[in-house]
Structure 1
């Protein structure tokens, strides 16, 4: 060995007798996952382009959404810097704080459009505490299961179901059935990923089926029952409760294979399609970009879910695996429920389409979840 190479060998050799470790890459030092970040940037750009058309070329709305995207990315990057151990320690406190806020909503919450969902800070802003539970629920369930033997016993499962039912019930009472479903799903996914046996899953499904008549009679509001009935026969009240579904399916069908072209949609631009920039934005998108455009959008969502699941399953921490997997599957539920209700295979429950629908609060919640995934990925 030459003197130069011998020097380099000694220069980079460990001084304490341990095995030399590879230095973390630049992205790892920044605590960012480049694949996930790139997909999110593509989704954000795509969302702003679609919103410009769906909103009737409202530049002010697009600007507000761009600001929300900027804030959401800052929140995501900030959360990615915190090690998962910190989130694990804080999970029960975050969950307890969310429950307290939900109770405050039930007691002193602000009412808008017949729903009591918001808390207001006088002179500043108002916020929707149920959004916090979309993260607090899987964090709490991951914390609860990570300290116990897996697969879980019946006692652990029943306790977990109780932890899910309390906030979901408070949210459903507001009423906000869509958010209650998303919060429940995020907790149930943690139980599933914890190794829940299939016979337990079957028992829970049977119990849920038995409880449906009770929920229909005593828990669902009249307008929620009407939405379920409209699902099966929207033409029964074509100018009333069935209007949204009929117009959305008309917009989707009129797009055909390639669509009518960007800014050329008629259902949304002529105001036939209600909420064309929020819950029903994918109908406006389908009209302009057709089946090809919708397929590309679904492939983008599939790539995000796939990368999130890869991050979750690659980590060695039980808490990280459960939390990351639940965040990934919850994102899938977001997309499935929105596309399902707009296309007429699910009742309308008011769930926005991720990154495309207008709205800042849900956007920040989504990006916070991806920030947790990046933390799990880069703090291994």
Structure 2
């Protein structure tokens, strides 16, 4: 395995995938018509809460679950098609899988754990040794070949699992919540190492997580899932700054919502009538005059001050509800009428203190109002 992308990797293509489970006499949908592309050499993340269907989608692609309907391709090679009666077994799909549980055999050494898939494939011992050393070097475990599994740290165990998934040179890599058992500091380190490794290898990767930071930090593309379907897809930057759906906006990070009605538009700006007052945002196709909208703002874009800001468009008055020091920032909640806005800053305020809140129009995102 070269440390750079030297061979074309397949594009994963999923078309109208559906999967239900039987609970008694009832069929409970887990995946509802999912369509998804994972481009050659990219990492796409399925992000969503527990029970949204992301792991089931991944397991269908791996061949561990049989879909009810839809199609799955690696490039032009069909792996599943109900219409054509195709269902390629998992061992013939050449995928590397990493699960939430490490599944390291405690009675085997690091070398033996990583070598196992090659031994099953009956490769010559010399070739097995070469490949194992090569992949252990990739994941930073060279020199630990003889260490038993139980004597590894959590981060080292996860690297062993990753090495075992890569050692037989899979066409695609599928990862299902692989970092969830690590503590926060180790999880951040392994996340950075995983992204660097994926870029060096150029392997097509589908990643599943409920962790927003993992999705934002690892992915070329994020697919946000809810109730068995994909809500929307886009780059991490696009989905965080300009989501099209309130669920995406709230799931990708802290946000404050203000309900209102779109009013007149003037040039690049649109007015929104809210209970907090008149607000201005950049013109959006979601803001049709007279239609209800939801204005959203991230806490890092909410500015607080004791004096009224000059030459600011969106300025509101409010009262401090809470102000908490969290080390790298101060987390403050300010009540503006019936709405409570969250702000991140570097200054502590006192309870019930009167403040001015300002929001630049470019940071006020407009989203469709969803009934109920």
What TM-score, normalized by structure 2, do the two folds share?
0.24
- Whose radius of gyration is greater, 1 or 2? 2
What TM-score, normalized by structure 1, do the two folds share?
0.24
Higher share of residues assigned strand:
2
Higher share of residues assigned helix:
1
Greater RCO, CA 8 A, separation 6+: 1
